[in-house]
């Protein structure tokens, strides 16, 4: 696991190679999670945007296997936490233990010291334990007994929660939700894809090792994230984001609009989407295609589904005029 946050310089001519590597990662993930290319693409967008992902869906739809496959594909260390009401913060961050032979305390790392952390059913953990993830997600570090410990520079949290069984759960507060870049739902597969899944279970495909297949050379993820941060965003696109953000703060059904941090995350997500689409500039389509995933996790709704509200917001704000798919 790499904990070095040193900037790695990336020659411009290598960007095409980075994109090609991520095309291989996407193909691998689509093999693992059949029939869900949009989910795979948005997961990679979230990773490249240096965000964290909330998967809200029913059990048994492939959320865990997708997280494991991603960790293996990027050459990262994977860890999993099953969140329960008796889970303690130290069970996630780690704790200090007294070494009688050395007569001193030593730190035992928790599962948060990984590249990809799956926090399964995060809403079953108590607020105190949920908050233990807050510093890790925001700062990529943890503090234990007044000592700070850095996490991997590519630390990526995938948290899941079940929307139908809310007995004994603790809803994530807005401050924690705002730490996620986006929220996705996997959904049931189409019949043909589900048939392929059944067929693969009785064929040689069942030996397909999802955790040892790596497609990114060392430092490639960091290089790609740096390339994403340099993706051009025209002022008209930034004003488009600002107009949409302002509309969320004035909408009667929304009691908590998008924060400035949320807009920064949204812009970075749009840059990542452009990178995966082999462009070095952001378009209005990038804003619109990521709107539901980004806004769905951070709009405080009085009632109703955010899907219709997001669609209404997009319809209410004029798309930048004169944008011809290149720098204006």
Pick the residue with more confidence: 254 or 244? 244
Q: What confidence tens digit (pLDDT) does each residue in 205-227 have?
A: 554 566 567 888 888 999 999 99
pLDDT of 6 above 80? no
Contact (Cβ atoms closer than 8 angstroms) between residue 189 and residue 150 = no
User: Average pLDDT of 302-326?
Assistant: 81
Of the listed ranges 116-130, 189-203, 222-236, 245-259, the least confidently predicted one is 189-203
Pick the residue with more confidence: 187 or 273? 273
pLDDT band at 11 (very low <50, low <70, confident <90, very high): very low
Contact (Cβ atoms closer than 8 angstroms) between residue 114 and residue 65 = no
User: Average pLDDT of 294-313?
Assistant: 83
Best CATH choice for the domain 12-230 from the list 3.30.930.10, 3.40.50.9100, 1.20.1250.20, 3.40.50.300: 3.40.50.300
Q: What are the b/e assignments for 124-156, b being 16+ CB within 10 Å? A: bbbeebbebbebbbeebbbebeeeebebbbbbb
pLDDT of 66 above 70? yes
Of the listed ranges 37-46, 112-121, 200-209, the least confidently predicted one is 200-209
Q: What confidence tens digit (pLDDT) does each residue in 151-191 have?
A: 998 899 999 988 776 666 788 888 788 889 999 999 999 99
Q: What pLDDT score does 256 carry?
A: 85
Q: What pLDDT score does 168 carry?
A: 62
Contact (Cβ atoms closer than 8 angstroms) between residue 43 and residue 37 = no
Q: What pLDDT score does 167 carry?
A: 64
Angle between helices 220-229 and 260-276 (to 10 degrees): 110
Give CA–CA dist 269/286, Å, rounded: 8
Q: What pLDDT score does 301 carry?
A: 66
Q: What confidence tens digit (pLDDT) does each residue in 17-38 have?
A: 899 999 999 999 998 998 999 9
Q: What confidence tens digit (pLDDT) does each residue in 142-152 have?
A: 988 888 999 99
User: Average pLDDT of 115-130?
Assistant: 92
% helix, strand, coil for the chain, step of 5? 45, 15, 40
pLDDT of 291 above 80? yes
Predicted TM-score of the model (pTM): 0.89
Q: What pLDDT score does 262 carry?
A: 94
Give CA–CA dist 234/259, Å, rounded: 21
Residue spans of the domains in the chain: they are 12-230, 232-328
Pick the residue with more confidence: 127 or 165? 127
User: Average pLDDT of 46-74?
Assistant: 92
Task: Return the bridge partners of 106, or none.
Answer: 97
Q: What pLDDT score does 328 carry?
A: 45
Domains 12-230 and 232-328 alike in fold:
no
Q: What pLDDT score does 4 carry?
A: 43
User: 232-328 falls under which CATH superfamily?
Assistant: Magnesium chelatase subunit I, C-Terminal domain (1.10.8.80)
Residues in the chain: 328
């Amino acid at each position: 696991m790499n904990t070095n946050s040193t900037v790695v310089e990336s020659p411009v001519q290598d960007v095409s190679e980075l994109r090609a590597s991520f095309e291989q990662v996407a193909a691998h993930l689509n093999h693992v999670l059949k029939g869900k290319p949009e989910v795979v693409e948005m997961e990679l967008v979230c990773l490249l945007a240096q965000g964290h992902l909330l998967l809200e869906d029913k059990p048994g739809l492939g959320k865990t296997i997708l997280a494991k496959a991603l960790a293996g594909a990027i050459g990262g260390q994977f860890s999993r936490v099953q969140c329960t009401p008796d889970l303690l913060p130290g069970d996630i961050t780690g704790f200090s233990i007294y070494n009688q032979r050395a007569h001193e305390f030593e730190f035992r790392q928790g599962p948060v010291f990984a590249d990809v952390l799956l926090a399964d059913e995060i809403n079953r953990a108590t607020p105190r334990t949920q908050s233990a993830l807050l510093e890790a997600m925001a700062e990529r570090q943890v503090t234990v007994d007044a000592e700070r410990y850095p996490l991997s520079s590519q630390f990526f949290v995938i948290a899941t929660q079940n929307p139908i069984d809310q007995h004994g759960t603790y809803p994530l507060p807005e401050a924690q939700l705002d730490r996620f870049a986006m929220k996705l739902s996997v959904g049931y597969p189409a019949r043909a894809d589900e048939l392929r899944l059944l067929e693969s279970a009785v064929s040689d495909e069942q030996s397909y090792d999802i955790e040892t297949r790596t497609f990114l050379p060392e430092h490639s993820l960091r290089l790609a994230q740096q390339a994403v941060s340099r993706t051009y965003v025209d002022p008209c696109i930034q004003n488009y984001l600002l107009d949409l953000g302002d509309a969320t703060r004035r909408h009667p059904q929304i009691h908590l609009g998008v924060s400035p941090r949320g807009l920064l995350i949204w812009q970075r997500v749009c840059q990542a989407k452009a990178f995966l689409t082999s462009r070095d500039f952001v378009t209005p389509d990038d804003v619109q295609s990521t709107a539901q995933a980004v806004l769905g996790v951070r709009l405080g709704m009085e009632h109703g589904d955010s899907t219709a509200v997001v669609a209404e917001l997009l319809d209410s704000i004029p798309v930048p005029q004169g944008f011809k798919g290149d720098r204006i």
